[in-house]
Amino acid sequence: MQPQHNIRRLVELYSAMCRIRAFETAALTAHKEGVIPGPLHVSIGQEGVATGVCLNLRASDRITSNHRGHGHALAKGAGVQGMMRELFGREGGHCRGKGGSMHIADFSVGMLGANGVVSGGIPIAVGAAQGLKMTKSDAIAVCFFGDGAINRGPFLEGLNWAALYHLPVLFVCEDNGVAAFTRTEAVTAGPGVIARAASLGVPGETVDGNDVMAVDEAAGRLVAEVRSGKGPRLLQARTYRITGHTSTDAAAWRDPAEVAAAKTRDPIEKLANLLSERGVAASEIDGIRSAAEAEMAEAVADAKAAPWPDEAIAYDDVQDVGAVAFGGRA
């Protein structure tokens, strides 16, 4: 634990993680009811990474995310109503209901987008960082991706470019040990992400992603280095995804003993226990959790009642070649 981890900071971290857990739990329930179209990729168990990193960012900083991006968006400050409506495909969603869970963006808080293309967020973050450098901004870009993304070309291209141009970008590899349903070691050659980054001149370090205080400390330091012009950095956060790959995956392919062991390392429970040891009343700890649950229940009710988008906007904001071909508006 670092000196900055006073009770106030711990409560802040706890509250942010509870909000992510509550959002995704509420969304999973709604998905089971059949009111959310398409699959959800939730990050239950991984909340410490999004939280520990994003709570070190400024509103002007940019982030990009992957297919498992609810936590990143929430921790960066994206509006809950717009996020839930987006999942439901409704008007008022951050992308007017056209993006869905895997493509949530909220530019007003620097959230440049989740991305259904594995590693797709990497070049976007690097481009954003290049723009920030060219305009002499002191903002930085942070790029979240999974361990599966390091086996795709954009990882090499993105880190190469960021290192070459000394760009203000922090790469965060959320290493949950699997790529969808496949164990990382079955598809990844060599010693892994840190060595790959080092080979391109990007210094990296590894942290326990289930220890939100450790993530907070490491991210705080690396963000400061990146912001001060030292060039790109990489953080590998080892974590565990408690749920399956998608909302329809019961994860029967996983050893139940492994999942049970992971649950004992749940970042939210760990911090709740620490808060209790540090003298925070159980009612306060539970109150934070129930406030998060109430907030998300309200967001679900709002999304259910929200109007569907007008079909006339279907081809707005997207390339219209298809629209013309299929008789839509030019």
CB of 16 to ligand TPP, least distance (A): 20
Nearest-angstrom CA–CA distance, 205 and 143: 15
CB of 319 to ligand TPP, least distance (A): 19
CB of 8 to ligand TPP, least distance (A): 31
CB of 324 to ligand TPP, least distance (A): 27
Question: Which CB atom, from 134 or from 187, has the smaller least distance to ligand TPP?
Answer: 187
b (16+ CB within 10 A) / e for 294-324: ebbeebbebbeebeebeeeeebeeeeeeeee
- Give me the residue whose beta carbon is nearest to ligand TPP: 146
Contacts of 230 (CB under 8 A, 6+ apart): none
Is residue 118 within 8 A of residue 112, CB to CB? The reply is no
Nearest-angstrom CA–CA distance, 267 and 272: 9
CB of 137 to ligand TPP, least distance (A): 29
Question: Which CB atom, from 148 or from 232, has the smaller least distance to ligand TPP?
Answer: 148
Is residue 266 within 8 A of residue 273, CB to CB? The reply is no
Question: Which CB atom, from 179 or from 235, has the smaller least distance to ligand TPP?
Answer: 179
Question: Which CB atom, from 121 or from 309, has the smaller least distance to ligand TPP?
Answer: 121
In the sheet that 169-175 helps form, which strands lie side by side, from edge to edge? 62-64, 141-146, 169-175, 233-238, 204-208
Residues of this chain that interact with ligand TPP (CB under 6 A) are 66-68, 116-118, 146-149, 176, 178-180, 241, 245
b (16+ CB within 10 A) / e for 127-165: bbbbebbeeeeebbbbbbbbbbbbbbebbbebbebbbeb
Question: Which CB atom, from 88 or from 145, has the smaller least distance to ligand TPP?
Answer: 145
Is residue 24 within 8 A of residue 32, CB to CB? The reply is no
CB of 147 to ligand TPP, least distance (A): 4
Question: Which CB atom, from 148 or from 204, has the smaller least distance to ligand TPP?
Answer: 148
DSSP 67: S
CB of 298 to ligand TPP, least distance (A): 28
Question: Which CB atom, from 32 or from 183, has the smaller least distance to ligand TPP?
Answer: 183
CB of 177 to ligand TPP, least distance (A): 8
Question: Which CB atom, from 15 or from 188, has the smaller least distance to ligand TPP?
Answer: 188
CB of 104 to ligand TPP, least distance (A): 16
Question: Which CB atom, from 189 or from 312, has the smaller least distance to ligand TPP?
Answer: 189
The structure tokens 């999973």 sit at 28
The runs of H, that is alpha helices, within the chain are: 7-33, 47-54, 70-76, 80-88, 121-134, 153-164, 184-187, 193-199, 212-227, 256-263, 267-277, 282-305, 321-325
> What do you get for the CA distance between the two ends of the chain, in Å?
58
